[in-house]
A and B are shown apart, each in its own frame.
Chain A
Amino acid sequence: MAAPRLTATASQTIGPFWHLIEHAEMADLLRFGATGEAITVTGTITDGAGQPVADAAVEIWQSSPPVSDSFPAYGRARTDTAGRFEFRTLKPGPVPGLGNAQQAPHLAVTIMARGILRGLTTRLYFQGEPLNDTDPVLSLIDDPAQRATLLARPAGPGAWTLDIRLQGENETVFMDI
């Protein structure tokens, strides 16, 4: 393979003032009238001292259901002073993987904030999904406690929650994509 001719631009932190591009409606992926299984996804982000990360930008992207005029499949939310974020979206279904693999329903999640020079990417899976047991990404994680950091738990009808720990005990599994 020929060496690339150019090198990807270096990332820099999103900083504490990214809210200038926030637009709160971006946290609602149903704002264009998408229909299907509506869910809310919430979570709290904490740092290595267990303190809330109150200035983060959280982004989700999902390849199921597919992008359409009524469904952007992408959202952006702020964390509040308690480190909490909230999205409204459609519950994803299974996603094709490499070869014959099926991936369990999941959201890609990226966290950007002051003190994070390159966005931290992880995935949110849904507790109790049968495909979780054979998912090609979850299967890379041997330690059940580490796997559990990616499994959102039910928090009421149509509600799912996943806490994200940037560092330390129960540190979320972040991914190099």
Chain B
Amino acid sequence: MTVDAAGFRPLQPRTQPPNDSPEYGSTRLRHPARPALRIPQSVTETTGPVLSPKHFPPMPDLTMLTGQAAMGERIIVRGRVVDEDNRPVPSTIIEIWQANAAGRYDHPGDTHDAPLDPNFHGEGRVFSDEDGWYQFTTIKPGAYPWGNHHNAWRPNHIHYSLFGTGFAQRLITQMYFPGDPLLPLDPIFLATPDAAARNRLIASFDIEATQPAWALGYRFDFVLRGRNATPMENT
């Protein structure tokens, strides 16, 4: 008999954005019309990939890619990765990507007429420590226009990818900045129905993380799905 890791609890209603979110135009032809099939969790869902620093070396400073400083407002982002029971998720990879200070991605698909920065690519990677803490240094990404509707602009944001300990915990999200006037106009941010859940995507200014004469600090915590109390059993 083997005892698997416990399954994950269901997500709480209204705290995740529905894929059918008409205000975000690209969802129109990309959301399934049928409801998702609820399946029992098995080892396929309760275990997951482990991306190790051996194969994915940390890149905790996005501002010094070439040895020359990237343009823009240098910032430090730190926080914790925990589960819904507030238990730290240690040694887990956090992949990071973002636009430069001018609001331009170093990506062939980005045609926004804003300058590229030869000293900024926009990819980072860190691992949480044994208590779930992570930290990286970057520049504050700029806002940029997009074609969703007339005069549409994405608020400043940083993209993240996390794995946790089971495939059902996989998380792709975006972190926003406090006080951004574009947030109440952004259909991607607004797609999460529950206001409290939505607002948890906004980092908070963190004077403790701020380094004197160097960089402002922001705090952003990730919460991954929690597991049931009882493990599943396979005979």
Picked from A7, A72, A106, A113, the residue with its CB within 8 Å of the CB of B49 is A72
Given the interface pairs A172-B32, A174-B32, the reply to whether A8 lies near B43 with Cβ below 8 Å is no
Picked from A6, A99, A108, the residue with its CB within 8 Å of the CB of B235 is A99
Q: Does B36 contact A (CB under 8 A)?
A: yes
Picked from B30, B97, B200, B222, the residue with its CB within 8 Å of the CB of A113 is B30
List the B side residues contacting A62 at CB < 8 Å. 44
List the B side residues contacting A20 at CB < 8 Å. 97, 105-107, 121-123
Contact A8 B84 (CB under 8 A): yes
Contact A74 B33 (CB under 8 A): no
- A157-177: CB near B (< 8 Å → 1, else 0) gives 000000000111001111111
**Interface size band for B:** 35 or more
Q: Which residue of B lies closest to A67 (CB)?
A: B50
List the B side residues contacting A171 at CB < 8 Å. 32-34
Given the interface pairs A20-B122, A97-B234, the reply to whether A117 lies near B24 with Cβ below 8 Å is yes
* A-contacting 9-mer, from B11-19, B68-76, B131-139, B204-212: B11-19
List the A side residues contacting B123 at CB < 8 Å. 20-21
The secondary-structure label for the interface of chain A is loop
Contact B30 A17 (CB under 8 A): no
Q: Does B126 contact A (CB under 8 A)?
A: no
Report, nearest first, the 10 A-B pairs whose CB atoms are least far apart.
A115-B26, A74-B49, A48-B29, A115-B30, A176-B36, A4-B84, A117-B17, A20-B97, A47-B29, A12-B174
Residues of chain B at the chain A interface (Cβ within 8 Å) = 2, 4, 8-9, 11-12, 15-19, 21, 24-45, 47-51, 55, 82-86, 95-97, 99, 105-107, 109-110, 121-123, 125, 159, 161, 167-168, 170-174, 188-189, 191-192, 196-198, 200-201, 222-226, 228-229, 232-235
Residues of chain A at the chain B interface (Cβ within 8 Å) = 1, 4-21, 32, 47-49, 51, 53, 55, 59, 61-63, 67, 72-74, 95-100, 103, 106, 108, 110, 112-121, 123, 136-137, 140-141, 166-168, 171-177
**Can you name 17 A-B pairs with beta carbons within 8 Å?**
A6-B223, A10-B15, A10-B201, A11-B16, A11-B173, A13-B174, A17-B110, A97-B42, A99-B235, A113-B30, A116-B19, A136-B40, A140-B37, A167-B31, A174-B36, A176-B39, A177-B168
